[in-house]
Amino acid sequence: MKSAVICFISVLCLACSRNQNDLTYFGGGIVNPKDDYVILMKQNDIIDSIPLDKNGHFSAKLNIDKPGLFTFKHAFEYQLVYIEPKDSIKLRLNTLDFDESLVFGGSSAIENNFLIENYLLNEKNSELIFSYYKISPQDFQYKTDSIRTSRENKLQQIKEKHNLSEAFVDIAQKSIDFEFYDMRERYAFLMNKYNQKKAKNINADFYSYRNKIDLKDDNIPNLFGYFRFLDNYLKNLSIEICQKEHSYKDCFDLNTYNNLDHRISLVDSLIKNKHLRKRFLERFIQEEIIYAQNTKHLKHTTSLIDKFNFSEVEKKRLKSLVDFQSSMIVGANLNDIKIKSQDFINHKLEDVIKKDLSVIYFWSVQSPSHHKLRIKKIKELKLKYPEIQFIGINIDYKFPDVWLDAVKNYNYNSKNEFMIIAEEHSPFYRNYLNKVFFISKDCVIKKSEIILSNVDFDKHIKDFIATKNL
């Protein structure tokens, strides 16, 4: 395998010398393609949609006026590529192992292979963080400093050997920096949540990098590490605000209306890059709608939709979600939800409620990892709480055969498995895969903000059962 990769790179380096004209060449080959084209983007703007031939090859000549990071997408997968004007770049990958199989050749092969190697190492660090957080802050600083130094030494070596451009070195250094910053933020979150005694040993110097961050830099929004760092940075800042304002609250529950509202305010005040600002605001406002608990919350979020510079299409979508959420809060009645059984007979939810207390959850075959975790949890709950009717509602209304296969393969109780019927608002149910709804015999929602992975989920169920006797 390694010899094949080396051969591939060697051939490309010979064949893909820097173009002599003003155009930039971008091409390559995809093994086991999942779509008919590759899309090249600069942030949210599509630069080109490039078709694949019958052998999975693609090529395009582009007008690139300055060096920078671009995103190439194929089907549901995507990755970054660094391109300089007049480059001649080729890539090769296998969709069965998208990131791990990706290799670059051509005039910026050294740069791009360095970035993808760092990306894969960073993904491994994401897994290590769950063991690292158990060590002391001092040991963690030592470990992360060592990782950072190792990456910087590698960058310095290839810079000296291959005469890298200053533009690339700047991007590469920032990719190293923001992975380092992100590890610090994630460690701080885990320590403060699960080991507050050790967390008290985190000194001010631990966060010294926060004073060096330039949130106005337009050259780095595409970096994966940068976005992940910002996400965790905003998360920690929102917790700090919560702790100052409400010392008695559990500020580590991130899926709350108040926490999301703090993060929206932070994005508004801190992030000026148009692309990142829009991305975070749309995401947090949508989540704030979904976790709103009353009409007062929804009214406030509606005012935010009008405040920020969303397109008319996006405003309409978000406001439609507000209207939908108003029918999913505590006190709302779900009796008119339209579903179908496995014999494809249509029902209303009220027709299938058989017990005094029910738990409703939504699921999708298209979210396999989420779905598999839920299967195990629901089976355990059914055994522990036989007095509750657990009703699964699949949202893959466009793929009924896939739904039926999943119900059969996972040995679901067919009497309590249904599919949502396609209507105008049906796509919104995808936003509720993490939530469960506790409802009474008459289909009134008693609790709606609970997520299945909540560590106190059993306590919520026991409190729910206790209401039966009130």
Same domain for 454 and 391: yes
At which of 107, 128, 161 does a domain end?
107
The pLDDT tens digits for 424-467 are 889 999 999 888 999 999 999 998 877 777 777 888 899 999 98
Q: For all residues of the chain together, what is the average pLDDT?
A: 87
- Structural domain of residue 154, as residue ranges? 118-276
* Lowest-confidence pick of 90-94, 218-222, 330-334, 370-374: 218-222
For residues 264-271, give the mean pLDDT.
Answer: 94
* Lowest-confidence pick of 69-78, 153-162, 196-205: 196-205
Same domain for 136 and 35: no
pLDDT value of residue 9: 47
At which of 57, 76, 107 does a domain end?
107
Same domain for 246 and 188: yes
Same domain for 58 and 24: yes
The answer to the question of residue 294 being in a domain is: no
The pLDDT tens digits for 287-346 are 999 999 899 999 999 999 999 989 999 999 999 999 999 999 999 999 989 999 999 999
| CATH at 422 | 3.40.30.10
- pLDDT of residue 253 exceeding 80: yes
Q: In the sheet that 103-106 helps form, which strands lie side by side, from edge to edge?
A: 57-62, 24-31, 88-94, 103-106
The answer to the question of residue 12 being in a domain is: yes
Same domain for 461 and 358: yes
Q: Taking the C-alpha atoms of 320, 322, 328 and 330 in order, what is their torsion angle to the nearest 10 degrees?
A: -160
At which of 255, 276, 297 does a domain end?
276
Query: How many structural domains is the chain composed of?
Result: 3
The answer to the question of residue 113 being in a domain is: no
The pLDDT tens digits for 25-39 are 999 999 999 899 999
pLDDT value of residue 73: 94
The answer to the question of residue 328 being in a domain is: no
pLDDT value of residue 371: 76
Query: Residue 421, CB half-sphere, CA atoms under 13 Å: how many?
Result: 12
Which two structure tokens, joined as six digits, stand for 405? 């296969």
The answer to the question of residue 409 being in a domain is: yes
Same domain for 267 and 176: yes
The answer to the question of residue 353 being in a domain is: yes
Same domain for 66 and 140: no
pLDDT value of residue 247: 66
| Dihedral of alpha carbons 314, 319, 324, 329, sign | positive
Q: What share of the chain in percent tops pLDDT 90? A: 57
The answer to the question of residue 141 being in a domain is: yes
- pLDDT of residue 16 exceeding 60: no
Q: What share of the chain in percent tops pLDDT 70? A: 93
pLDDT value of residue 384: 93
The answer to the question of residue 296 being in a domain is: no
| CATH at 65 | 2.60.40.10
pLDDT value of residue 12: 47
Same domain for 148 and 54: no
Q: Please give the Cα distance from 365 to 375 (Å, whole number).
A: 12
Same domain for 124 and 227: yes
The pLDDT tens digits for 379-413 are 889 999 999 999 999 999 999 998 998 888 877 77
pLDDT value of residue 249: 63
Residue 18 has a CB neighbour count (10 Å cut-off) of 14
DSSP 88: E
Same domain for 99 and 65: yes
